[in-house]
Amino acid sequence: MVAEFESDLIRMRTREGMKIAKAKGHLRGKQPKLKPRQEAHLVALFGGGEYTTGDLAEFFGVGRSTVYRALTRSRGRARDADADAHGRALFGWHRPLNCRVRACP
C-alpha cells in the first residue's frame, strides 16, 4: 500500500518535471548521430560502391546499424518520391504525407 503510494508520487513528480522541461524547451529526446548532410554523404559514398557498411561506420564514427538505418531511410524517401511522381503523372493526385501505401487515393 505504501509502496504504491510512493510509486504514484514519483510518477506524478516525473510528469510535472517533464511538463516544466518541455515548457522551457529542454525536452528534445535523443539527438541523431548523423546530421542530414552527413547522412546524404554516407548514402552517396555507399552508392558509389567503393565502401562497405563497416568502412562507412568506421569513417563516420557510428555503428553499422546506424549506417543501415540511414540507407533504409534514404531508400524510403526515394520510394515515396517515386510513388508521388507516379501518382501525379497518372492520376493527377497528391498523396498525403502520412500515407505509406503506394496506391493511396
Confidence of residue 105 (pLDDT cuts 50, 70, 90): very low
Judgement on whether residues 49 and 59 belong to the same structural domain of the protein: yes
Judgement on whether residues 20 and 37 belong to the same structural domain of the protein: no
For residue 62, which of 53, 75, 50, 72 has the smallest C-alpha distance?
A: 53
Judgement on whether residues 2 and 52 belong to the same structural domain of the protein: no
Judgement on whether residues 64 and 104 belong to the same structural domain of the protein: yes
C-beta of residue 70 within 8 angstroms of C-beta of residue 43: yes
Judgement on whether residues 101 and 78 belong to the same structural domain of the protein: yes
Judgement on whether residues 15 and 61 belong to the same structural domain of the protein: no
Judgement on whether residues 80 and 63 belong to the same structural domain of the protein: yes
For residue 14, give its domain range: 1-30
pTM recorded for the entire structure = 0.55
Judgement on whether residues 57 and 99 belong to the same structural domain of the protein: yes
Judgement on whether residues 56 and 101 belong to the same structural domain of the protein: yes
C-beta of residue 58 within 8 angstroms of C-beta of residue 69: no
Judgement on whether residues 21 and 38 belong to the same structural domain of the protein: no
Write the pLDDT tens digit of every residue in 22-78: 888 887 788 889 999 999 999 999 999 999 999 999 999 999 999 999 999 988 877
Judgement on whether residues 45 and 11 belong to the same structural domain of the protein: no
Judgement on whether residues 39 and 82 belong to the same structural domain of the protein: yes
